[in-house]
Amino acid sequence: MVKKNISGPVRRVCADIVGDDAVDLEILEVSLGIQRIAKSKSDRDGLLIKSALLALGRAVEDYRAESGVKHPEYEAFVEWLNTDGKPQDAVKADSVTAVGHFLDNHAIEAV
């Protein structure tokens, strides 16, 4: 990454990503073309973190707009992310519909 004159706080972020998460991360880097524009591993990591923080910021704003909660709790926010931004009742309804559809289709085969 290009050295910049930084006149504010600096925060170093370090994480070991392993297993399927590491594979998913590589796929994201390739699909975004990060490896083509970054000159080093630290450049790739910096670009990835920058884009991840932008996406996280948008997700938090979406959560705030939907829930009305200005300062969301981590657990509630992650649960919301895991439901693709749907309220829990809608996710449960989708699951019930999917199970009902599965049973409808397979009940005919069993008879």
| Residue span of the structural domain in which 58 resides | 17-72
DSSP-derived secondary structure for 13-60: ------HHHHHHHHHHHHHHTHHHH-SSHHHHHHHHHHHHHHHHHHHH
Shared domain for 27 and 55, answered yes or no, is yes
Range among 10-19, 21-30, 97-106 with highest mean pLDDT value: 21-30
Which pLDDT score is estimated for 95? 46
Is 12 contained in some domain?
Answer: no
Exposure pattern of 58-81 as b/e (b: 16+ CB <10 Å)?
eeeeebeeeeeeeeeeeeebeebe
Q: Are residues 60 and 95 in the same domain?
A: no
Tell me what the mean pLDDT of segment 19-40 comes to: 93
Residue 8, pLDDT score: 87
Domain membership flag for residue 6: no
User: How confident is the prediction for the chain on average, in pLDDT?
Assistant: 80
Per the CB < 8 A criterion, the answer to whether 44 and 29 are in contact is: yes
Examine the domain organization and report whether 66 and 77 are in the same domain. no
Count structural domains, the chain.
2
pLDDT in tens, 34-88: 989 999 999 999 999 999 999 999 999 999 999 999 999 999 999 999 987 665 5
